[in-house]
Amino acid sequence: MQADISQALSFEIKKELADRYFGFRTFIEQEKDELHRQARHCSSTVEQKICFDFVRLYIMLKDPKLIRMFFDLTGLDEDVFYDPYTVTSPTIRKKVFCQVKTRGLTKAARFKNLFLDSYDKLSHHVEVYREKVACLLLEHQTILEEIDIFYRNNDLGHIMGFLRSLDRDCLIGSDLHKAASGLVSPDHFEEKMKVKPPLPVDDMLSMVPSLPPLPLIKKELKNLAELALKGHNGQFTH
């Protein structure tokens, strides 16, 4: 009778430990999946808009020297969605200027307004994107902290030691019991059962710095647009 009670108690304790551990791991995996889903959505929507905005400006600037001047003016690195191929590709050009409307009475005015409007749209999209990335970075950090807290409160080594002190006839065939009984290597088990952290956000998304607002550099952008139009021999169609 006493043995039956001890065995039942052992089973309940092991079950509680297993439920707590695997319940937490399932919870973290769900949070990781949601984080990765949001990152993919951000990449396929806002990041794509930003990429198109940048490429549109690069095509209008055309000259690598003017593009470098644009980088200097805005404080951007030279690798922000820039590839010399995009400036000359007819397919990409058609795609980024699809359904783009222009305003102005002359070709020069339309070009200048399109350049300024494109920059204004870009700066807005960048701020929206940065806000979304900041939220994802916060969520990523929260998941890391949840994992850290769980491990500080539920050390696998201590759990294994405790399980070895209980009746080894319970939970036959389970990973927890096999590890506790020495049927599998504790190190192998601990590595297998470890809760993996989510991928870093900067591995999933591009980090884009904030841009100066249009009013702050409008004069300089106008001058840049005038130089760019000369590079198109005064003619620009899209």
pLDDT digits (tens, 9 = 90+) for 136-153: 999 999 999 988 888 777
- Checking if the pLDDT of 48 tops 90, the result is no
Is the pLDDT confidence value at 62 over 60?
yes
At 32, the pLDDT band (50, 70, 90 cuts) reads very high
Q: How confident is the model at residue 2 (pLDDT cuts 50, 70, 90)?
A: very low
Q: Give the residue-averaged pLDDT of 35-63.
A: 91
Q: Tokens 């993996």 belong to which residue?
A: 196
- pLDDT at position 167 is 46
**CA Rg value for the chain:** 29
Instruction: Give the pair of three-digit tokens for residue 213.
Output: 């607002």
**Integer Cα distance of 223 and 174 in angstroms:** 71
Confidence of residue 184 (pLDDT cuts 50, 70, 90): very low
d(CA 69, CA 73): 6
Residue 154 pLDDT > 80: no
Give me the percent of the chain exceeding a pLDDT of 70.
74
DSSP code at position 89: -
pLDDT at 235: 73
194: its two tokens: 């470890």
Tell me the mean pLDDT in the region 190-200: 76
Which of 90-94, 107-111, 121-125, 157-161 is the least confident region? Answer: 157-161
Determine the average pLDDT of the residues in 163-170: 50
d(CA 218, CA 222): 6
- Mean pLDDT calculated for residue range 194-207: 87
Greater confidence (88 vs 172) lies with 88
Average pLDDT over residues 100-110: 83
Both structure tokens of 86? 């995009």
pLDDT band at residue 224, thresholds of 50, 70 and 90? very high
Q: At residue 166, does pLDDT exceed 60? A: no
Q: Using DSSP, how many helices (H) and how many strands (E) does the chain show?
A: 11, 0
